[in-house]
Amino acid sequence: MTLAIVLCSALLALVLAIGLALPSIADPTVPFGVRIPPAHVSDPAITKQIRLYRGRLLGSGVLAAAGSVTLYSVTGETLMLPLSVLVLVGAWYGCFVLAHHGIRAAKAAGGWYEGTRQGIAVDTELRTRPPRFPWLWLAPPLIITIATVLIGVVRYPSMPEILAVHYTANGVPDRLAVKSVSTAFSLVFVQVGLTALLVGIAAAIFHSRADLDPARPAGSARWFRRYTVLGAKALLGLAAMIDLGMLASSLLMWSGTITPWAPLTIVVPVLAGVLVAVIVLARNNRDWEPVEEGTGLVHRDDDKQWRGGLLYINRADHALFVPRRYGLGWTVNAGNPQAAILLAGIAGLITLLIVLRLGR
């Protein structure tokens, strides 16, 4: 079994595992991005859609894996392996859309919101007494990034005149370049950009809008504060793991080391960081203590502000980040003008990666 197949199989397994687990760890009052009253979280229509979703996704994963291995064995093109991951992600989205529409139809047909008292809850102390940013977690990504820059500066004079700047999935160098600042420090530039982006997002989520449960506002406010801090720690930890992978890959380039395991220097730390972040956030359940007396209110039926249950567009909401409707973490408010600036920064970072790594 080649390294390319191992890496692809690991990535397929991770994507499939996250997709299958999400219905169990997402907020039960927004199954597949559809807002429902708490009294209907166990409705047979929702149970049916979860079962269909998982069956479709599991079948898609098996087909994607079998198809990629078959095409790779016939053509010998390693490109077929990462394409299978993209195919699985597309199938995942398709399974989500089918479940989303199924639950929306059941909600409309059953009149689930009829007779309910809808309301909102606001934590007014989020601005006057916000949760504390985990400053200590900022140290690892900054230390690794600065160390990478310093090591590169010190080793630059002794680097090989010809550098391997890209590897195939099997660890074979397929692109060489003459040593220069732009080639030798290409990964460092990307590392600095990614670190700045993730640290900036970690800081920004402390100003996100809290999606509090109007039935139990005090308990959900405490949960949201804890979740915000955990989210920042997860992002900073992921940044540190990415930086570690960039450092290891840069050291291989700077030393002229050729090894079939070169792709693992980036892939393993990144996958480990993503896996740990998902586990940490998923374990932060919504069992609020002490249990407070319910107010009798339910969330507003705000599906119209969520396109397809995933994309949030609300120009009246000044928050840049809001809790994700389905899954873990936060998403961008596409109705906020600042979202365009953030997306432009991400696009610029991707362009930098293409120019420095793939354009040579």
Looking at residue 57, what is its pLDDT? 95
**Domain encompassing residue 329:** 122-360
- Helix 44-75, helix 80-110: angle, nearest 10: 170
In this structure, the answer to whether residues 10 and 155 fall within a common structural domain is no
The encoded tokens of residue 210 equal 């809290």
Q: What is the mean pLDDT of each run of 10 residues along the chain (360 residues)?
A: 71 88 87 92 94 95 83 68 84 95 95 90 81 93 94 91 74 77 86 89 88 86 89 92 91 82 78 82 61 75 89 87 85 86 74 56
Which of 60, 87, 116 is at the close of a domain?
116
In this structure, the answer to whether residues 129 and 275 fall within a common structural domain is yes
In this structure, the answer to whether residues 88 and 136 fall within a common structural domain is no
φ/ψ region of 27 (left if φ > 0, alpha if ψ in -120 to 50, else beta) reads: beta
In this structure, the answer to whether residues 164 and 45 fall within a common structural domain is no
In this structure, the answer to whether residues 197 and 300 fall within a common structural domain is yes
Q: How many domains does the chain have?
A: 2
Looking at residue 355, what is its pLDDT? 61
pTM to 2 decimal places: 0.83
In this structure, the answer to whether residues 99 and 150 fall within a common structural domain is no
In this structure, the answer to whether residues 303 and 155 fall within a common structural domain is yes
Looking at residue 76, what is its pLDDT? 66
Q: Taking the CB of residue 263, how many other CB atoms lie within 10 A of it? A: 20
Interatomic CA distance for residues 317 and 137, integer angstroms: 30
Interatomic CA distance for residues 311 and 333, integer angstroms: 8
Looking at residue 150, what is its pLDDT? 94
In this structure, the answer to whether residues 98 and 182 fall within a common structural domain is no
Which of 71, 89, 116 is at the close of a domain?
116
In this structure, the answer to whether residues 167 and 112 fall within a common structural domain is no
